[in-house]
Amino acid sequence: MNAQSQNTERLTAAQAETRIRRDEAARIATTARRGLPMPSADQLTVRAALALLPAGHAVASVARTMCREFGHDAPHGGIACGRCWEHAIRNDERVVIEFGLTARDEEPDPSYVDEVAVHRALNGEVLPLGENEQDEVIRRMNSEGLSPSAISEVTGLRYRTVRARLSALVPPVVGDVASGAHHAPQVA
């Protein structure tokens, strides 16, 4: 009896999004079909997974604004509730279909940084950040003089991750090279 729900139990946010997009596409294709597209148990699972989508997502600002305007309680640390993510993704999918955009056109700008999410994270809020936003938060905290361990604590990112990102982001200080002259070059 549990077989149905087990199919969607372990759903990643990305899988949930794909599912919503396919569902919306199918709904549009068969205009006669109306009402709830999915069994309610599945819908809850999908929405719970959608609520984990990160700040850098193409429709993150739409979902966030919608959720705020509806006065919903966004899940702890989330951008928007799953229902608003679903709305935003369905609307987006309709535009994609209407204008005949391909998946390639839809790919978000790889250099895009969600400033609102970065700002919230810098204010101490723990929320799911995309890689660009993580880098930006780490970079700004570092430039404000926070240590890697402090950054790790505030952002909830692993210490090793923070160190690795920092060494990729911050150009090495020339003075350090001279002081370590007798040592073999170390890879952080």
Task: By CB under 5 A, name the binding residues for Zn ion.
Answer: 67, 72, 81, 84
Asked if 58 contacts 106 with a C-beta cutoff of 8 angstroms, the reply is yes
Nearer to Zn ion, 36 or 188 (CB): 36
The smaller minimum CB distance to Zn ion, of residues 45 and 142, is found at 45
Nearer to Zn ion (CB atom), residue 68 or residue 158: 68
**50 versus 138: smaller Cβ distance to Zn ion:** 50
Q: How many residues does the chain have?
A: 188
**How many Å apart are CA 114 and CA 133, to the nearest integer?**
6
Concatenating the DSSP letter of every residue in 64-115 gives: HHHHHHHT--PPTT-SS-HHHHHHHHHHHHHHHHHTT--HHHHSPPTT---H
As given in the structure block, the two tokens for residue 108 are: 């978000």
CB of 53 to Zn ion, least distance (A): 13
Tokens describing residue 119: 């700002």
Pick 67 or 151: Cβ nearer Zn ion = 67
Question: Are 7 and 39 spatial neighbours (Cβ–Cβ below 8 Å)?
Answer: no
* Least distance between Zn ion and beta carbon 74 (Å): 6
Q: Which two tokens stand for residue 18?
A: 């794909």
* Cβ–Cβ under 8 Å, residues 135 and 145: no
Would you say 137 and 155 are in contact if contact means Cβ atoms under 8 Å apart? yes
CB of 169 to Zn ion, least distance (A): 33
> Least distance (Å) from Zn ion to the CB of residue 60?
13
